[in-house]
């Protein structure tokens, strides 16, 4: 279970770091807890024929989907680690760096999708690059993106999204 613990710890750390400037508490939760959620699910979600790491239906919703499997694959590429046999894949579960990279990717994608619960287009448009504001940020093989999503680069919102977050989260929240 060490691999699971490492992934979850890295994911939570990445998500917390994404919101460290703001009045936001980030924690693991269960369905329908907290104000907003990123739900980690199994497989690849197709969006216009392209597999995506995460999805959010509309601005204003409180749940997003983060697809586990694609992060598992992309983290392998980002490091990079080449696996040839099924035994290699099994052994990879004890690769601490890979497990942390998978978790970091999931946490960063979760931050991105939580952003879309507040902003789609204005405040957070998906054609920007180089931060986890970026459209293809989860895929380290795509031009304009990079392996930063898996723990190799600076974690920062682009200015326009940082500002949008600041305005949306200002004053905290209370009910």
Partner 1 sequence: MTLAPNLLNMVVGDTHAIEALGSSGQSLTGLTWATSDSTIVSLSTDDPPVLTAVAAGHVIITAGGASADVTVSAGALPTGTVLWSNPGPGGCVGNIVPAVPSTNGVADVFAFSCDGGTVQAITADGQTAWSADTSHAITVVPDFNGGLVVANFLDSDHSQLASITRLDGIDGHVASTYTAQSGAQFYGLVVHTDGTVFLVQNCDTCQQRSVVGINSSGAGYAYVPYRTGDFPGGFCGPAVVHVNWHLKLPRISSGGASDTISIYDWPECFGEVNGLNVPMITNADTGTLLTWMMGVPGSPDQLLFGTALTNGTSSTVTVAQSVPGQESEVTPVVQAQDGSFVGTVWTDPGNGGDAVQLMVAFDSSGNVRWTVPGDQPQIATEDGGVIGQTGVTYDGNGIATGQIAALLTQSWRGNNYDPGFVQQIVSSLINKAKTLWAQLGGNPSSKGTAGREWDFKLVWLNTCGVEQPCGFYLHPANPLLHADRQVDATSQAATIGSFGSIEEGL
Question: Quick one: which of 50, 57, 90, 144 contacts partner 1 (CB under 8 A)?
Answer: 90
Determine if residue 103 is left, alpha or beta; phi over 0 gives left, psi from -120 to 50 gives alpha, anything else beta.
Answer: alpha
How far apart are CB 105 and partner 1 at their closest, in Å? 12
Contact letters for partner 1, residues 137-166 (x by CB under 8 A): ----x----------x---xx-xx-xx--x
Question: Quick one: which of 120, 129, 155, 169 contacts partner 1 (CB under 8 A)?
Answer: 169
Of the pair 52, 70, the CB lying nearest partner 1 is at 70
Long-range Cβ contact pairs of 74-78 (< 8 A, separation 24 or more): 74/105, 74/138, 74/139, 74/140, 74/141, 74/149, 74/150, 75/101, 75/102, 75/104, 75/105, 75/150, 77/140, 77/141, 77/147, 78/105, 78/140, 78/147, 78/149, 78/150, 78/152
Contact letters for partner 1, residues 16-45 (x by CB under 8 A): ---xxxxxxxxxxxxx-xxxxxxxxxxx--
Binding residues with partner 1: total (CB under 8 A): 84
Question: Quick one: which of 55, 120, 129, 168 contacts partner 1 (CB under 8 A)?
Answer: 168
State yes or no: residue 59 binds partner 1 (CB under 8 A): no
Residue pair 39/66 in contact by the 8 Å Cβ criterion: yes
How far apart are CB 81 and partner 1 at their closest, in Å? 5
Which residues, 104 to 133, sit near partner 1 by CB under 8 A? Answer: 106-107, 110, 114
């Amino acid at each position: 279970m060490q691999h699971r613990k490492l992934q979850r710890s890295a994911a939570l750390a990445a998500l917390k770091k994404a919101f460290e400037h703001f009045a936001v508490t980030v924690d693991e939760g269960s369905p329908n807890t907290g104000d907003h959620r990123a739900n980690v699910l199994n497989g690849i979600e197709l969006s216009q024929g392209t597999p995506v790491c995460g999805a959010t239906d509309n601005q204003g919703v409180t749940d997003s989907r983060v697809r586990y499997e694609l992060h598992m694959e992309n983290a392998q590429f980002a490091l990079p680690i080449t696996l040839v046999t099924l035994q290699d894949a099994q052994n990879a579960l004890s690769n601490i760096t890979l497990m942390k990279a998978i978790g970091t990717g999931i946490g960063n994608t979760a931050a991105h999708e939580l952003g879309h619960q507040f902003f789609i287009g204005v405040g957070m448009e998906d054609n920007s690059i180089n931060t986890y504001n970026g459209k293809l940020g989860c895929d380290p093989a795509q031009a304009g993106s990079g392996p930063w999503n898996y723990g190799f680069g600076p974690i920062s919102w682009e200015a326009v999204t940082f500002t949008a977050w600041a305005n949306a989260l200002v004053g905290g929240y209370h009910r």
